Chain A
Amino acid sequence: MKKISKKEVEHIVHLARLTLDKGELEKVTVQLDTILSYVEKLDELETSDVEPTTHVFSVCNAFRDDVVSKSLPREKALVNAPRQDGESFHVPKII
């Protein structure tokens, strides 16, 4: 059985904020299907009682003191912006 359809891939492409042309979509659907079929291997293992690991060492609440410190000056923060006016980032109109 197919793990993933072309329609599902189209939806994922949108969620990931990407675009693919028709040829790319065909190819990626096959590749994702192969990969997802392979990872199905994990279903061989019974894991209902196993705690998931997200981080190897659980660092709990890495708080720091609430002290004011230097931050990046505005002109530096803007230096790599594709478009800016010296005060803010420019993007296409939203509203």
Chain B
Amino acid sequence: MDLYELTIHQALEKMEQGEISSVELTRNCLDRIEKIDSKLNAFVTVDREGALLQAAEADRKRSRGEGGLLCGIPLSIKDLLSTKDLRTTCGSKILEDFVPVFDATVIQKIKNEGGVILGKVAMDEFAMGSTSETCFSGVPHNPYKRGYVAGGSSGGSAASVAAMECLGSLGSDTGGSIRQPASLCGVVGIKPTYGRVSRFGLVAFASSLDQVGPIAGNIDDTARLLKCISGYDKNDSTSVKQPVPDFSGFIGKSIKGLKVGIPREYFGEGVDPEIAAIVENGINILREGGAEIRDVSLPHTEYCVAVYYIIAPSEASSNLARYDGALYGYRDNKSETLLEMYKNSRSAGFGDEVKRRILIGTYALSSGYYDAYYKKASQVRTLILEDYKNVFDECDVILSPVTPLPAWKMGENKDDPLSVYLSDIMTISANLAGIPGMSVPGGFTRKGLPVGIQLQANHFMEEKLFQTGSYLEREVDLNRPELAL
């Protein structure tokens, strides 16, 4: 067995017992990246030297008995979390040479716990997408089928974990960007409650929806990573002062009497029959385990995509105004006036999808249209929140598919943005409501493509996700095929 196949839990045990060192483990992961990443394209930047230095430091700390919760564990980081002295591109040409001067709070926390950062991984440009195809540096493949998408926007995170280039990863989720690639790549991903994790140093896309979260090979490792990054941060005024529970403590807890809601709106036409069968299997397993399955309704589900594609682009158009070529990032040097410099730098630096969303947002916020679009969407957002409130009055978790379709071929739907937007229908409502959601592997299609099951819980009830998810993880017979690498 190669060291990169270890779970975080197993690797920590082996290091604790002195069987392996972090330097050996880290080198093993780096060698794997060198060997397979030209076929996978998960990494934008590999920091071999820096990672080995961090690993050596972790080994020293451990020998002195000072190691943290992730001491010596090699991780990949989505390329929109600010990493000091390590290039952070957001998958965009406009930040191609950007080297941050500070660490995001979550990166500081990972480093404090002894985590080793191998490098930065691919994503849709500024996290706007569901396939990672808009990443300027190359598109990650699905580790189970080359030529198929890994999902997005945290496609590099999910692909690098599934392909065992690292033991875990941090991604971000604005409309499903952790849960959807986790589902498409057959790994576990969790979007925490809005405010659970600091957004300081997370490059902003849609500030009222963005949330950082972990992706890992199993529930236990995901719980460990989430514990490390959670908590109030004075640098993020929207982070919430809530105690951080020991999420791992809920793993394996009995699900007898657990009330699981099945929202009928998530099972309409358009859901692939293989996905429906895999999700149905998950429901049956929970029922047999003693959970109480209830038919519930989230009546405003059909409006979620419309609400999201007003709110997210509006916030993005405002957030992305900062890329103007003046202080950092790409600048068009031929421009003679300031206005030309803004326009030419932004036009050459941003890709088509980012421009499209900036334009939608600029339109929705422009004079005379604000009430019709942004205000209207924010009102319907309230109705979506109320739907959830009603369901969580009688349920502990909501179970559904993550996506209507399994991973698709790269290049499909290229000129039809709306059809791609519609594929987000099952994930974006959790962001609009600020509730936590998880994707846990549920099975594989006949073609060998992974399919996840989505669990959602009420605000700050991530523990219910770990409780339910760990039961599914233990009882579902995945029949995991070999990686196609």
A16 at the interface (CB under 8 A from B): yes
- Given A15-B366, A47-B379, the answer on whether A39 and B327 have CB atoms closer than 8 Å is no
CA–CA, A86 and B339, complex, Å: 24
The residue from A13, A55, A92 contacting B336, defined by CB atoms under 8 A apart: A92
Q: Any chain A CB within 8 A of the CB of B271?
A: no
The A-contacting residues of B in range 332-349, CB under 8 angstroms, are 333, 335-344, 346-347
> Is the beta-carbon distance between A52 and B378 smaller than 8 angstroms?
yes
Is B366 in contact with A12, judged by CB distance below 8 angstroms? yes
Give the segment of B42-50, B59-67, B219-227, B353-361 that binds chain A. B353-361
Query: Which residues of the partner chain B approach A92 to less than 8 Å between Cβ atoms?
Result: 335-338, 340-341
B317 touching A16 by the CB < 8 A rule? yes
Query: Hey, which chain A residues are within 8 Å of B327, CB to CB?
Result: 80-81, 89
Specify which chain A residues have a CB less than 8 angstroms from the CB of B300 in the assembled complex: 45
B382 and A50 contacting across the interface, CB-CB below 8 Å: yes
Dominant secondary structure at the B interface: helix
Given A19-B344, A50-B379, A91-B338, A82:B325 Cβ within 8 A: yes
Given known A28-B356, A80-B327, contact A57–B194 (CB-CB < 8 A): yes
Whether B306 sits at the interface, judged by CB under 8 Å, is yes
The answer to whether A94 touches B380 (Cβ under 8 A) is no
B380/A42 in contact, CB under 8 A: yes
Q: Which of B101, B102, B383 has the most CB of A within 10 A?
A: B101
Among candidates B346, B347, B378, B418, residue contacting A38 with C-beta atoms closer than 8 Å? B418
Complex interface residues of chain A between 29 and 75 (CB less than 8 A to chain B): 31-32, 34-36, 38-39, 41-43, 45, 47, 50-57, 59, 62, 64, 72
A6 at the interface (CB under 8 A from B): no
Chain A residues with CB under 8 Å of B329's CB are 80, 82
Tell which of A45, A57, A62 touches B380, judged by Cβ atoms closer than 8 Å: A45
The interface-forming segment of B29-37, B138-146, B233-241 is: B233-241
Question: Is the pair A12, B343 in contact by a Cβ cutoff of 8 Å?
Answer: no
B14 on the A face (CB < 8 A)? no
Residue numbers in B under 8 Å from A1 (CB-CB): none
Of all chain B residues, the one with the shortest Cβ separation from A34 is B418
Q: Is the Cβ of A19 less than 8 Å from the Cβ of B383?
A: no
Tally of chain B residues near chain A (CB < 8 A): 70
What's the interface size class on A, roughly? 35 or more
Give the shortest distance, in Å, between B255 (CB) and chain A (any CB).
27
B347 touches A19 (CB 8 A): yes
Residue B326 at the A interface, CB < 8 A? yes
Nearest CB of B to A27, in Å: 8
Considering only residues 109-158 of chain B, those with a C-beta below 8 Å from chain A are none
Interface pick from B184-192, B275-283, B369-377, B404-412: B369-377
Complex alpha-carbon distance, A28 and B347, angstroms: 14
Question: Quick check: B359 and A76 within 8 Å, CB to CB?
Answer: no
**Residue contact A42 to B359, C-beta cutoff 8 Å:** no
Q: Are B343 and A41 in contact (CB under 8 A)?
A: no
Known: A35-B360, A53-B382, A59-B240. A42 touches B376 (CB 8 A): yes
Question: From B365, which residue of chain A is reached at the shortest CB distance?
Answer: A15
Contacts of B340 in A (CB 8 A): 92
CB–CB A16/B362 < 8 A: yes
Additional 9 contacts, C-beta under 8 A, given A47-B379, A91-B338: A15-B366, A18-B359, A28-B359, A36-B360, A38-B306, A42-B306, A43-B376, A57-B434, A80-B328
